[in-house]
Structure 1
């Protein structure tokens, strides 16, 4: 695991990186697809390597 991929990023940064909404990132956390980390009483962060492992390539026809 590289240092850059193991860093914690905001939901907004993660959403922009994967071209999805922050609501989708929150849904993925709630579904257990990725791990969310609470930093302080309100702030959520996700690990980029967690997002990388959750995304998968779709087969083409």
Structure 2
């Protein structure tokens, strides 16, 4: 019997302002802007001036630091 695999459900986008993203990541707005310009973090333009980021994609930037006990 063939197994069917259901596609993974992608998490819903959580678009927030750059200021809210900076507060969430405990960094500055300029750091968020720099990550966008470097291509590390996608930015989403909503209109001619409004720029947002997805908190799920911001979470993906975090990397676990290995510990000596691990």
- The reply to whether residue 38 of structure 1 matches residue 45 of structure 2 is yes
For residues 5-44 of structure 1, give each alpha carbon's deviation from its aligned partner in whole angstroms, at most 9, with x where no partner exists: x210000000001110000000000111110001111110
Aligned pairs, number: 59
CA distance in 2, matches of 1:60, 1:42: 43
Structure 2's unaligned 5+ residue stretches are 1-9
Q: Name the residue aligned to 2:21.
A: 14
Distance 2:46 2:39 in 1: 18
Structure 1: tracts of 5 or more residues without a match? none
Runs of 4+ with >4 A deviation: none
User: What TM-score do you get using the length of structure 2 for normalisation?
Assistant: 0.74
TM-score normalized by structure 1? 0.84
RMSD: 1.3
- Which one scores higher on RCO, CA 8 angstroms, separation ≥ 6? 1
